[in-house]
Amino acid sequence: MPGFFSPQGETYEIIMSNRVLAKINGKTFSVMDVKKKMDLFLHEHHPESLSSNLLLYQFYTQNWRQSLQEMIDNELIKMEAVTFKINISDGDVRQEMDKRFGPNLVKRLDELKLSYEEAKQIVHDDIVVRNMQWYRIWARVLQDVTPETVKAGYETYLAKLQLKDDWTYKVATLKGPNQSEEAAIKAYNLLLQEESEVTPIEVKGISGFLPTDTSLQISEPITISTKDLSNEIVKVLEDLPANTFSKPIAQKSKSDGSTVFRMYYLIDHKKESPPSFEQVSAKIHETLVQRYGDLQREEYFTKLRKRFLSEDLVVKNLFPPSYQPFNICGS
């Protein structure tokens, strides 16, 4: 249930416009019936919200459509269950009632404004629905979500995972009309004599040993992801120990198409490792079960509605988005 804030010092009154919302299998579901279902849920799971009409109103307006759909769907399940001749013993019902309402059953039912027979029928029906859903939906889902399916889900998960894989490096580039492979090798050997990343002064000194009109330029540090680098550069960087220069590489200049010689200096490579299968397999299994469950549920109820000629009983199609059976006034 969403968390809501109820302003102190203000009182609210919920106004309910009661009417029949749906009819199925000789039963009618009214706004009052839906309200009772929501109240029962709140009594069992969020009793603290019952003291605030503002909280109740917000819960009613957000959940009445879903609650009504569940009531309709459960009635369809019960109609199908008749053909299965499911037998729910009184002992099963009593055990479930003890579990659901606690040891002080009479007091609890009084708080819920339910008679013993009403509570017994609700619990009986819930057990029938739960058993049918297990047979028709979840048993089939668990057959489909095999270890192989989870493994494939892990591969898909890895493919979509965006892990950090960043390279930080500098590029030393030979410039000038007299550059050649020989000049590039000479510059490379001079760079190897330096013990650091090479300062601008050192680069200028190296350029003094190169052919006339040929100079060496070195870039500022570049940080870029593997996916944004060419395969050629990635291969160079992968084979390069940190804090060292690569041998000269002849490449085409993007500006004029001429051949230039470059040497790459690796500073750092930060790469995150993906989680192992053991670390995420349970979560992937849970996600797949939910996904397959949603599909199987939709398929199941589509067949039920068609079988029992109730294809129009989809709440989102029964009422316009603006319709709201609950209102509130405050003072």
| CATH code, domain carrying 229 | 3.10.50
- Do 195 and 262 share a domain, yes or no? yes
Q: Which whole-number Å values give the CA distances from 21 to 14, 17, 116, in the listed order? A: 19, 11, 27
Based on the fold, state whether residues 98 and 36 are members of the same structural domain.
yes
Last residue of a domain, one of 271, 291, 309: 271
* CA distance linking residue 210 with residue 250, whole number of Å: 17
Which of 115, 32, 131 lies closest to 74 in space, CA to CA?
Answer: 131
Alpha-helical (H) ranges within 250-322 are 277-307, 315-318
In a domain, 154, yes or no: no
pTM score over 0.85: no
Q: Count how many domains the chain has.
A: 2
CATH number reported for the structural domain that contains residue 76 in this entry: 1.10.4030
Token duo for residue 210:
């190169």
The reply to whether 242 falls in a domain is: yes
pLDDT digits (tens, 9 = 90+) for 157-173: 999 998 999 999 999 99
Phi, psi (rounded to 5 degrees) for 307:
-65, -40
Task: Indicate the pLDDT class of residue 50, thresholds 50, 70 and 90.
Answer: confident
Q: Which tens digit of pLDDT belongs to each residue from 230-278?
A: 999 999 999 999 988 999 999 988 877 788 999 999 999 999 999 999 9
**Euclidean distance between CA atoms 173 and 187, whole angstroms:** 10
Question: Which pLDDT belongs to residue 1?
Answer: 36
Are 252 and 304 within one domain? no
pLDDT interval class at 128 (50, 70, 90): very high
Query: In terms of domains, do 48 and 99 share one?
Result: yes
Which residue segment(s) compose the domain that 309 sits in? 12-148+280-330
